[in-house]
Amino acid sequence: MNPTLSRRAFLKGGAVTAATAVTATALPGSAQAADPGGYLTTLFDLSKCVGCGECVTACRETHEGDFPQPEKPFPKMIPARVPVEDFSDSRDDEDRLTPYNWLTVQETEVTWNGEEQTLYIPRRCMHCVNPPCVKLCPWGAAVQEKNGLSRINDQLCLGGAKCRKACPWDIPQRQTGVGLYLDVLPALAGNGVMYKCDRCHDRLKEGENPACIDACPEDVQTIGPRDEMIKKAKALAKEMNGYIYGLEENGGTNTLYVSPVPFDVLNNASGKGPGLPDLAPHGNSMAMAENVGTAMLLAPLAGFAAAAGRIFLTLKRAAKEEETS
């Protein structure tokens, strides 16, 4: 539970309230003014991937400090409608997406044009051009950067999983027992924090590549502006007489795959289950009128909720500083 907030801490935190509120209310859809054609997009050449897992290892090592450290026992939810999702005892699992594993490689064995092939598909957040997780997050915890990547602010997320329900690939994963909900009505609000690939946004800000790209020994991924990556994808698909995924799915994504085998064939051969994204997305979330309408209605709420969350965190830090001073 958070320490008692004294009058001095309240005033100290309140000094930034106005600025915080203005910033936070701009969070939902913050990248709408950017040019989608210039969004940073990654192109995967599936004909090159050998399933070595170097990308998975690099991702885990880079984000080790971002992984959740849950508090146990978990608060009992009232009503008990939100299930506990605890991956803390299986942190080393790499065969599915978890809060501790933001990238997994799916192996598929198929027969196409009379030839048996084994293909490997690195799977993580698709970073949609128009991400439903961002548009429909009621608390403003999911944001889209100006370069097109989407990420979840673990300091604001309450773990309600609206992002996963909105995601056509069910990608975000929840860890119970961590996050803001522990300080705000832990029995009633949320149930943890949602986690997914953030495209190494800190590295991108420093002009570096995401860790998975630098670690790949086979040059599977290329990163650049979306318009440029689309041209490369089309040229590569023509060269190998292949197929492209990500041009239209959910309105287009900032992840493009090129494969020598049709994606419906790959999908039929791929493993299915929790934490294993389907290559046949369940509908176009942002194309649904009710979702777009909901997003418009929720945008102000999300902004104010994000502001409230930031204010609460500021007050909490100020109280801790006061205790140690």
- In the prediction, which pLDDT does 283 show? 56
For 152, the token pair is: 């979840």
Instruction: Answer whether 0.85 is exceeded by the pTM.
Output: no
Rounded distance, CA 161 to CA 159, Å? 5
Q: Judge whether residue 137 has pLDDT over 60.
A: yes
- In the prediction, which pLDDT does 282 show? 72
Tell me the backbone φ, ψ of residue 40, rounded to 5 degrees: -65, 125
Please provide the CATH number assigned to the domain covering 32-287. Answer: 3.30.70.20
- In the prediction, which pLDDT does 311 show? 56
- In the prediction, which pLDDT does 83 show? 85
At 69, is the secondary structure helix, strand, or coil?
coil
Tell me the backbone φ, ψ of residue 205, rounded to 5 degrees: -65, -25
Pick the closest to residue 176 from 157, 150, 196 (CA basis). Answer: 157
Q: Judge whether residue 148 has pLDDT over 60.
A: yes
Q: In this structure, is the dihedral angle defined by the CA atoms of residues 149, 155, 156 and 161, taken in order, positive or negative? A: positive
200-259 pLDDT per residue, tens:
999 999 999 999 999 999 999 999 999 999 999 999 999 999 999 999 999 999 999 999
CB-based contact 3:308 (threshold 8 Å): no
Could you tell me which residues are beta bridge partners of residue 142? 152
For 220, the token pair is: 């599977």
In the chain, which segments carry CATH 3.30.70.20?
32-287
Rounded distance, CA 139 to CA 304, Å? 8
Rounded distance, CA 165 to CA 133, Å? 8
Pick the closest to residue 104 from 165, 167, 51 (CA basis). Answer: 51
- In the prediction, which pLDDT does 187 show? 81
286-320 pLDDT per residue, tens:
444 344 444 444 444 444 544 555 555 555 556 66
CB-based contact 256:75 (threshold 8 Å): no
Kindly indicate the confidence band of residue 30, based on its pLDDT and cuts at 50, 70 and 90: very low
CB-based contact 197:210 (threshold 8 Å): no
Kindly state the DSSP code that residue 249 receives in the 8-state scheme.
G
